[in-house]
Structure 1
Amino acid sequence: MNKIIAERYELIDIIGQGGMADVYLANDTILNRTIAIKILRTSLAKDPIYIARFQREASAAAALSHKNIVEIYDVGEDNDQYYIVMEYVPGRTLKELIAKRGALHVMEAIDIMKQVLSGTARAHQMGIIHRDLKPQNILVTDTGTAKIADFGIASIQSLTQFTQTDVIMGSLHYLAPELARGEKATVQSDIYALGIVFYELLRGQVPFNGESPVNIALKHMQEDLPSLREFNPSIPQSVENIIIKATAKNLNDRYKSATEMLEDLQTCLSRTDEEKLVFDHSDEVNDPTIVVNPRQIFDEEEPEEVEERAVEKKNNNGKGKQILEKLKNPKVLAGVVAGVVLIIGIICYFLLFGGNKQPNVMPDLVGLKQSEAEKILKDYDVTINKTVFKELSDDYKKGLITKTDPEKGSSIKEGDVITITVSKGKYIVLDDYTGLSYDEAKKKLNKIGFKVDIKREVSDKKAGTVLEQSLEKGYKQDPTDKDRTITLTISKGSYVILDDYTGMSYDDAYNKLSGLGFNVTKREQTSDQPAGTVIDQNLAKGYKVDPTDTNRNITLTVSTGYSQTVPSVVGLTPDSAKSNLENLGFTVSMEGTQFPESGGDERYIGAVYKQSIAAGTKVDKKGTTITIYYYED
């Protein structure tokens, strides 16, 4: 590519494309570091509205500094190219992680959400609403660090010159109900999106899908989230309650701040006896229904663009303007709404009850094959929609109907079209494999298509026993997913703990250590202990050896017994002779006598002239008595 931006940033490769800008992998030639650089598309660089929006993003993101938010290094313009230089985060998006692995383990999902909520809370504290929180905008490094990216539609509440009205541009699967109604984006709409993200992490898919954007938006406005615990009963109720509260359709029920949601998340695993969260609105007066034009939900024009187009059509909209002025009158508006409701009611009445078609009761088709259902419905002159939905089931085999719309017992009439959902197979539900031998557990898991990885750890359980499993009992596996892996933690057995072998005979100590798998090295040393006695060991008592460590070595020091050579002390003074012999371990007896008047050697006057055990004699007992004889002065 070899293109340089601002005489500093060398573009290497394109790594992402968005509605407004392209993202490149680049090198900062001054700081010699890898960065990502977002460049406003050429087709938009001449549009002052898009430039303003792009600069707004830069100002918002550059104000943030948090370990879980992608850092902004630089913002600028070079030859009419507007750019933002940011931290390059190696890894993958959360969406890619979910696509590869499906539903995550509850502990891993909680860890990711703690990080994302921490970064979101920081942004909210600075008055910044992201407005497009979704797994595609959350990056996860190989070390598990989550970072929020793409503040491309972030709204700084203080920048009122750019936010006279809020325009919904985020992904519909994470769209808060109030945004679908055309209301202003708030901190709570970000929280709703994070509740959906948390759901997707634990379920492996979004809660609401539909054939059209309007259909998805209406589901967010009207339908309850499908139960997570029905999918995976091992998910704690306290965890599901966090998602229920985060995605509450009534803002009074929803978390008021990301910090509040984060604090709840940090303690959820300690709340083991929590009941399912249910909101009671029985005493509330129903709010009036707000009818929203679908174009209002999905129009991506900025306020300035709308204003420009309004000016262009000014001459053609004179009458429209007068009508709008009249609609500002509450009485006129109320009359119009009442009229519309009345017309809709009349239409619905004739659609449901008009004509000669008599209503029938919808039969129960659940558990039948589609062909069987078609035969039954033929008697009612009712057909099945060509679009057949498919889902995994806990109860029904592949090809059997799991639900119908309308449900059994509902009114149907001739000509109606029934929508059915058919099972694409039963979930594979994992058992508890702890306590089994590894071979037995592996055989069971291989039979249901799982690849088994192993971790080993020391335990008092028998070697080869399964201690833990990475996917808990009750985990539901999509049978169509061929990439199935589980990790089993296997016992190595208990530690080998050494005893004190000193004082034993070498043969006894050798036999005990050999039985423990040790190679024994013998080292001999004289001592006052009997020959063959162990007097030292190089690995102390209590030393622990990993049961899988086969390279086990120990050195024993063994006594060769006592051996001492008697020195000559003849000619020494009695005290010196005694001291020398006692230092060598001998017991000394002294006998003095008068020097003889004749025949004596004058050299031994006051000195030892004889010893009871001759010099050079070896004794094998410490404390042997030697008598020294000397002439007194």
Structure 2
Amino acid sequence: CTDCGSWNRGEAARCVRCGIIMPDNSDRRQSPPDPSVTALRQVTGGRYTIMHRVGEGGMASVYYALHVVLDSPVVIKVLHPHLAREHEMRERFKREAESAAQLMHPHICKIIDFGMVDDHVFLVMPYLARGTLSDRIGGHRSLSPETTAAVAAQVATGLDYAHRRGLVHRDIKPDNILFDEDENAIVTDFGIATGHFRSRMTGSGNVMGTPHYMSPEQARGKLLDGRSDLYGLGVVMYETLVGFPPFDGADSYSISYKHVTETAVAPDVVDSRIPAQLSAIVMRCLEKNPGNRFERGNDLADALINFLSTASAHNEFRMARTARPVPAVAVG
């Protein structure tokens, strides 16, 4: 559906979710078959009906598909063939599947399937119909403080869960935060996730991650812990609030250098409508010294929930509190 993004069968007259009238596809000429789709059908063993290519990034192509038996929509992420022939990249892609498979949390995207056949390496994830946080920032430039806090609280609880199991994501950014049908925020793409003391660089010596969202210690190639992800989430909150990240530059080096050496302008200084309490939370995430940040993702989530409780943001408060339930109290 071009209106709400939900999947519908080709013959559907109206969208099953929003009810909008669907375009008539009956007289459209069929496009020639995509060779990559044909190949993907073969390497997945016929378990999925490959519908179409959704997009393509520097590392992989993404396809929309249906499980043949369950008829449930999924996304298949396929490593580019030239990368699949490189041992390091195959292992990195495999690690994404292994890392995410260990994590069973409502705010972390699960891996349904994984396979390696010749030069084809793929993993399968649930289709999340509500798009990415990047889509929402692009459509509105910035989001409300209350929505920003609620989304970040959910992401923070998911990260806390991963961190307690020894995994650091290392690439928290709007593209890697998706939304399900119930508007829950879901962290995806654990492709460069690593244990606390594993190698922090590629074999060629390049630091892995996205420059705009890198912590200072990540930019310097240092060993990381979960507080590095909280820095990245702080950058995401900053961008979601004001419409742009705290640091920019002509190239990845100049951006990384600013993360290491410069102090961001506080969000409430950029835009006086942003509450000082939320701005302070973001700036704590952006501290250069990891010891000055929130210690754990749940600590950050609690601070965000406290902000929402004082902001009369009832819907967002419920959304965030769902991610961080009230601890059980012993009776008797």
Matches within 5 A, 1:133-532: 133-141=172-180, 143-157=182-196, 160=198, 163=199, 165=201, 167-269=206-308
Deviation at 1:169, TM superposition (A): 2.1
The 8 Å contact of residues 38 and 84 in structure 1, kept in 2 or not, is answered as: yes
Work out the CA distance in 2 between the residues paired with 1:269 and 1:81. 46
Q: What RMSD over aligned residues (CA atoms) do the two structures have, in Å?
A: 2.0
Is the alpha carbon distance of 1:240 and 1:69 closer, same or farther for their aligned partners in structure 2, counting shifts above 3 Å?
Answer: same
Which of these residues, 66, 72, 96, is aligned with residue 57 of structure 1? 96
Work out the CA distance in 2 between the residues paired with 1:212 and 1:76. 35
Query: What's 2:26 paired with?
Result: none
Deviation at 1:199, TM superposition (A): 0.8
Is the alpha carbon distance of 1:164 and 1:111 closer, same or farther for their aligned partners in structure 2, counting shifts above 3 Å?
Answer: closer
Which of these residues, 113, 125, 141, is aligned with residue 152 of structure 2? 113
Deviation at 1:204, TM superposition (A): 1.2
Query: What's 2:55 paired with?
Result: 16
Q: 3-state SS of the aligned residue for 2:282?
A: helix
Deviation at 1:165, TM superposition (A): 4.9
Work out the CA distance in 2 between the residues paired with 1:165 and 1:109. 31
Is the alpha carbon distance of 1:79 and 1:267 closer, same or farther for their aligned partners in structure 2, counting shifts above 3 Å?
Answer: same
Residue type at the aligned position of 1:176: S
Per-residue displacement from partner, 1:462-492 (whole Å, max 9, x unpaired)?
xxxxxxxxxxxxxxxxxxxxxxxxxxxxxxx
Deviation at 1:164, TM superposition (A): 7.1
Work out the CA distance in 2 between the residues paired with 1:79 and 1:213. 34
The 8 Å contact of residues 231 and 285 in structure 2, kept in 1 or not, is answered as: yes
Asked if 1:85 is matched to 2:124, the reply is: yes
| TM-score, structure 1 normalization | 0.41
Deviation at 1:141, TM superposition (A): 4.1
The 8 Å contact of residues 60 and 156 in structure 1, kept in 2 or not, is answered as: no
Work out the CA distance in 1 between the residues paired with 2:99 and 2:56. 20
Which of these residues, 17, 38, 42, is aligned with residue 81 of structure 2? 42
Query: What's 2:25 paired with?
Result: none
Is the alpha carbon distance of 1:48 and 1:237 closer, same or farther for their aligned partners in structure 2, counting shifts above 3 Å?
Answer: same
Structure whose alpha-carbon radius of gyration is higher: 1
Q: 3-state SS of the aligned residue for 1:36?
A: strand
The 8 Å contact of residues 238 and 269 in structure 1, kept in 2 or not, is answered as: no
Work out the CA distance in 1 between the residues paired with 2:170 and 2:121. 22
Per-residue displacement from partner, 1:547-606 (whole Å, max 9, x unpaired)?
xxxxxxxxxxxxxxxxxxxxxxxxxxxxxxxxxxxxxxxxxxxxxxxxxxxxxxxxxxxx
Is the alpha carbon distance of 1:261 and 1:164 closer, same or farther for their aligned partners in structure 2, counting shifts above 3 Å?
Answer: closer
Work out the CA distance in 2 between the residues paired with 1:186 and 1:111. 24
Which of these residues, 122, 131, 146, is aligned with residue 161 of structure 2? 122
Work out the CA distance in 2 between the residues paired with 1:29 and 1:67. 25
Query: What's 2:12 paired with?
Result: none
Query: What's 2:171 paired with?
Result: 132
Q: 3-state SS of the aligned residue for 1:43?
A: helix
Higher relative contact order (CA 8 A, sep 6+): 2
Deviation at 1:193, TM superposition (A): 0.3
Per-residue displacement from partner, 1:15-62 (whole Å, max 9, x unpaired)?
132333211111111222111111222212232222222111110011
Deviation at 1:192, TM superposition (A): 0.4
Q: 3-state SS of the aligned residue for 1:133?
A: coil
Residue type at the aligned position of 1:105: S
Q: 3-state SS of the aligned residue for 2:160?
A: helix
| TM-score, structure 2 normalization | 0.75
Deviation at 1:232, TM superposition (A): 2.9
Per-residue displacement from partner, 1:245-266 (whole Å, max 9, x unpaired)?
1110112211121111111111
Query: What's 1:32 paired with?
Result: 71
Larger strand proportion, structure 1 or 2?
A: 1
Query: What's 1:73 paired with?
Result: 112
Percent identity reads 34
Residue type at the aligned position of 2:165: M
Work out the CA distance in 2 between the residues paired with 1:56 and 1:94. 24
Residue type at the aligned position of 1:200: E
Structure 2: segments with no counterpart, 5+ residues: 1-33, 312-332
Larger helix proportion, structure 1 or 2?
A: 2
The 8 Å contact of residues 36 and 86 in structure 1, kept in 2 or not, is answered as: yes
